[in-house]
Amino acid sequence: MLGTVTPERVVDLRPRTIMRVLLIVLAVAASLEVIWIARHVLSWVVIALFLALALDPFVGFIQRHTRLGRGTAIAVAYLIVIAVIAGIGATFIPKLVDEVNGFVQALPNYVHDLTHGRGRLGFLERKYHVVEKVREQVQNGGASRVLGLSGAALSVTKSVITIIAATVTIVFLTFFMLLEGRTWVERVYSLLPEASRPRWRRVGDDIYRTIGGYVTGNIVISLIAGASITVVLLVMGVPYAVALGLIVAFLDLIPLAGATLAGIIVTVVAFLHTVPAGIVVLVFFVVYQQIENHFLQPVIYGRTVQLSPLAVLVSVLVGAELAGILGALAAIPVAGALQVVIRDQLATRRGPGIEASAEAPALGGHGSTA
């Protein structure tokens, strides 16, 4: 009706409400600040959590077949893992040391060829005059260059100390997570209403299988990738095959981009050795990526991680943006855990009749998960 005056709405905010909002904002800001300050420690906790999830099935296997206590079974699992690592080290480290020594001994020849414009890297001097530019920078830098090197040495020393401290801390965190993890989970369940405990236990078991299956599967696939490329490089006579295989195994842990980056590095090294070796390595990586994406991942992961390729890509990009490499590694298991929770919520809202169909993946089928 024309001419009708709409009454004004007045929102009366009480001082107590304003204070509550301000306190919530301050609490959130303080929490984010604490998380940012402790981000390195939190990253150690996340790594220890993943290792605990990967080792827990093995510890349970030892308990079932030996009837040992939880702590003793964890100690036995640690000893077996250390023995396996020592065995692998005894097999590969001598070869790795020989390859590094060979590279150091060959380095003067590489430098000589480079400075004289000869060899495979000679084009850097012939076309770009790299040696003259480096000499000019060193002469112009003078003392600042020396100080820069001193700062770099100090930074490397700090990094080595940090890595040692992180390794020791992660080992102990993993041990205590394996020892007390189930007790803490039971305490969380005890805080829930008794009627809803079976439901959340089921959700917790699904999340455990999702994350544990992903962590274990990712490690197995990375070992397969590193071992297979090492064999190919050894057959083709490419130098530093074991070292390059270790690089591939490490980078393959990173979802999506890791295997591609490893392929580029190893292929370039193979082409510097010989053109046929480069072609063989390039073809191998292309074929292996297809086998890994369409066979290894579905078989090894099974039905633990049910994410579509789009969900994998988005989760990895978001995780990498938030926390770098660690975020990319944690992105897929976190996305899988969220999918379990969302699927449970949808099943609960739709009623008990949906339980049977809830087994189907909510966000996609068996896509590429690494």
Residues 61-68, mean pLDDT to the nearest whole number: 86
Where in the chain are the domains? 41-191, 198-370
pLDDT digits (tens, 9 = 90+) for 223-273: 899 999 999 998 988 887 887 888 888 888 877 677 888 888 889 888 888
pLDDT digits (tens, 9 = 90+) for 15-32: 777 788 888 999 888 888
Determine the pLDDT at residue 364.
41
Is residue 168 predicted with pLDDT exceeding 80? yes
**Among residues 262, 270, 289, which one has the least CA distance to residue 370?**
289
Question: Model pTM?
Answer: 0.62
Under a CB-based contact definition with an 8 Å cutoff, are residues 210 and 336 in contact?
Answer: yes
- d(C-alpha 323, C-alpha 184), whole Å: 26
Under a CB-based contact definition with an 8 Å cutoff, are residues 305 and 214 in contact?
Answer: yes
Under a CB-based contact definition with an 8 Å cutoff, are residues 214 and 333 in contact?
Answer: yes
> To the nearest 5 percent, what fractions of the chain are helix, strand and coil?
85, 0, 15
Cα distances (angstroms) measured from residue 298 to each of 206, 354, 359, 364? 18, 26, 17, 13
Under a CB-based contact definition with an 8 Å cutoff, are residues 212 and 181 in contact?
Answer: no
Chain position carrying tokens 């150690």? 44
Residues of the chain with pLDDT > 90, as a percent, come to 4
Exposed/middle/buried for residue 319 (C-beta within 10 Å: 0-12, 13-18, 19+): buried
Determine the pLDDT at residue 15.
77
**Among residues 41, 116, 336, 319, which one has the least CA distance to residue 211?**
336
- d(C-alpha 179, C-alpha 169), whole Å: 15
Is residue 306 predicted with pLDDT exceeding 90? no
Residues 159-165, mean pLDDT to the nearest whole number: 80
Determine the pLDDT at residue 284.
92
Under a CB-based contact definition with an 8 Å cutoff, are residues 175 and 76 in contact?
Answer: no
Counting Cα atoms < 13 Å in the Cβ hemisphere of 28 gives: 5
Classified as helix, coil or strand, 252 is coil
Is residue 144 predicted with pLDDT exceeding 60? no
Determine the pLDDT at residue 109.
64
At how many degrees (to 10) do helices 143-190 and 197-236 cross? Answer: 140
Is residue 358 predicted with pLDDT exceeding 60? no
Determine the pLDDT at residue 200.
87
Q: Look over the chain and give the mean of its residue pLDDT values, rounded to a whole number.
A: 76
- d(C-alpha 205, C-alpha 53), whole Å: 12
User: Of the given ranges (75-79, 264-268, 279-283, 350-354), which has the lowest mean pLDDT?
Assistant: 350-354
Determine the pLDDT at residue 218.
83
- d(C-alpha 310, C-alpha 115), whole Å: 49
More confident residue, 234 or 89: 234
- d(C-alpha 47, C-alpha 61), whole Å: 22
- d(C-alpha 72, C-alpha 58), whole Å: 13
Determine the pLDDT at residue 365.
40
Cα distances (angstroms) measured from residue 339 to each of 167, 298, 311, 326, 334? 31, 18, 10, 20, 9
Determine the pLDDT at residue 108.
62
Determine the pLDDT at residue 329.
76
Determine the pLDDT at residue 92.
66
User: Of the given ranges (44-48, 115-119, 269-273, 326-330), which has the lowest mean pLDDT?
Assistant: 115-119
Q: Residue 134's pLDDT band (boundaries 50, 70, 90)? A: low
- d(C-alpha 57, C-alpha 63), whole Å: 10
pLDDT digits (tens, 9 = 90+) for 174-188: 999 888 888 888 888
Under a CB-based contact definition with an 8 Å cutoff, are residues 247 and 303 in contact?
Answer: no
